[in-house]
C-alpha cells in the first residue's frame, strides 16, 4: 500500500518470466543506481510464472551482479498479482511474452503504466531483454549491460521528476 510519505517517490516493478534472472538483475541494478543518485524509490520485481516462487535468484545472476558490485542474494521470487497494477506507478516487462501475460492480468481499474524495459533506453524501444536462463554465463553479462541501461534511464527520468 502507498501512503502520503510516498508522494513523488516512484514505485517501479520489474517483471520477467521466472523472477530469478532478468527482473532481479534489473531490481539490483536499479537499487544501486537510485542509491548512487540519492533518489528514493520503491523498487520490486516479480515473475509472470510461479515455478520459482520463494527462491533466490539464479546463482549465475547472483554471480554476475556480484561481479558488478551488487548483492541480490536476499531477493526472493514472487508472482505478479493484480494488486501490483495499483501499488506501482510503472511495471516494466523484460520481453513481449511478459508484456502480453501482464496485459491479461491487468485489472480494468489499473493505474500502473505497463511497458517494455528497453522502451526507456534511447534507440532500443520495442526490444526485449534476452532471457539468459538457457544460455551460458556470458548471457548474464549481456543481460546486466541491458538492465543497467534501463536503471540509468529510470534515474534520469526520476531526477527530472524530483528536480
Ligand atoms: P527469468 O528467466 O524470466 O529472467 O527469471 C527464466 C527463469 C526460469 C525459467 C525461464 C526463464 N524457467 O523456465 O524456469
Tens digits of pLDDT across the chain (163 residues): 555 554 568 999 999 999 999 999 999 999 999 999 999 999 999 999 999 999 999 999 999 999 999 999 999 999 999 999 999 999 999 999 999 999 999 999 999 999 999 999 999 999 999 899 999 888 999 999 999 999 999 999 999 865 4
Q: What is residue 44's predicted lDDT score, i.e. its pLDDT?
A: 98
Mutate to test the pocket of ligand 1, among 15, 21, 80 (most ligand atoms within 8 A of CB): 21
Burial of 151 (0-12, 13-18, 19+ CB in 10 A): buried
Ligand 1 atom showing the smallest separation from residue 22 Cα: 4
Residue 54: strand, helix, or coil = coil
Residue 2: strand, helix, or coil = coil
Is 31 among the catalytic positions? no
Q: What is residue 2's predicted lDDT score, i.e. its pLDDT?
A: 53
Q: What is residue 5's predicted lDDT score, i.e. its pLDDT?
A: 52
Give pairs for 109-114: CB < 8 Å, separation 24+: 110/85, 110/86, 111/85, 111/86, 112/13, 112/84, 112/85, 112/86, 112/87, 112/88, 113/89, 114/85, 114/90
115 close to ligand 1 (CB < 6 Angstrom) = no
C-alpha cell at 125: 524501444
Q: Which of 21, 22, 58, 60 is catalytic?
A: 22
Alpha-carbon dihedral sign for residues 75, 107, 48, 90 = negative
Q: What is residue 136's predicted lDDT score, i.e. its pLDDT?
A: 87
Q: What is residue 163's predicted lDDT score, i.e. its pLDDT?
A: 45
Q: Which of 44, 84, 95, 131 is catalytic?
A: 131
Mutate to test the pocket of ligand 1, among 19, 26, 45, 49 (most ligand atoms within 8 A of CB): 49
Ligand 1 mean position, distance from CA 3 (Å): 33
Amino acid at each position: 500500500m502507498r501512503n502520503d510519505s510516498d508522494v513523488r517517490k516512484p514505485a517501479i516493478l520489474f517483471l520477467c518470466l521466472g523472477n530469478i534472472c532478468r527482473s532481479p538483475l534489473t531490481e539490483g541494478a536499479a537499487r544501486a543506481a537510485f542509491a548512487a543518485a540519492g533518489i528514493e524509490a520503491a523498487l520490486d520485481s516479480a515473475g509472470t510464472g510461479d515455478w520459482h516462487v520463494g527462491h533466490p535468484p539464479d546463482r549465475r545472476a547472483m554471480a554476475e551482479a556480484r561481479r558488478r558490485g551488487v548483492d541480490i542474494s536476499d531477493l526472493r521470487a514472487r508472482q505478479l498479482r493484480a494488486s501490483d497494477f495499483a501499488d506501482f506507478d510503472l511495471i516494466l516487462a523484460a520481453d513481449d511474452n511478459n508484456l502480453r501475460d501482464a496485459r491479461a492480468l491487468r485489472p480494468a481499474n489499473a493505474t500502473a503504466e505497463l511497458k517494455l524495459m528497453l522502451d526507456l533506453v534511447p534507440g532500443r524501444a520495442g526490444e526485449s531483454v534476452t532471457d539468459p536462463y538457457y544460455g551460458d554465463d556470458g548471457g548474464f553479462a549481456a543481460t546486466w549491460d541491458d538492465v543497467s541501461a534501463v536503471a540509468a534511464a529510470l534515474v534520469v527520468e526520476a531526477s527530472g521528476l524530483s528536480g
